Amino acid sequence: MSPKEIAAHYQAKVFDSPAAAESAGFALTETFAPRNVWNKASAAQSLLLKLRDRKENGEAKEIGLVIEPWSVTGCYVPI
């Protein structure tokens, strides 16, 4: 699955840039700079699983993913 499909699976919003996520009220978490599409998908899933846990623990209202050509960043709306 592509990062976008993974984001859809975990009901996460997708942003094109960190600035767009921050302007929408999301706080940024980790950033990965993968070297190929497989690593990019893996990085996206890794970020989203951590964000999902955060959401289930009541720390996040909404989760999201910033997908840029050479990097993936997690983001969430804190409660």
Binding footprint of another protein on the chain (CB under 8 A): 2-4, 32-40, 42-43, 45-47, 49-50, 67, 69-70
Which positions ≥6 away from 65 have C-beta within 8 Å? Answer: 3, 6, 7, 12, 13, 14, 15, 44, 47, 48, 72, 73, 74, 75
The residue (of 5 and 25) whose beta carbon lies closer to another protein is 5
Shortest distance, CB of residue 40 to another protein, whole angstroms?
7
The residue (of 25 and 49) whose beta carbon lies closer to another protein is 49
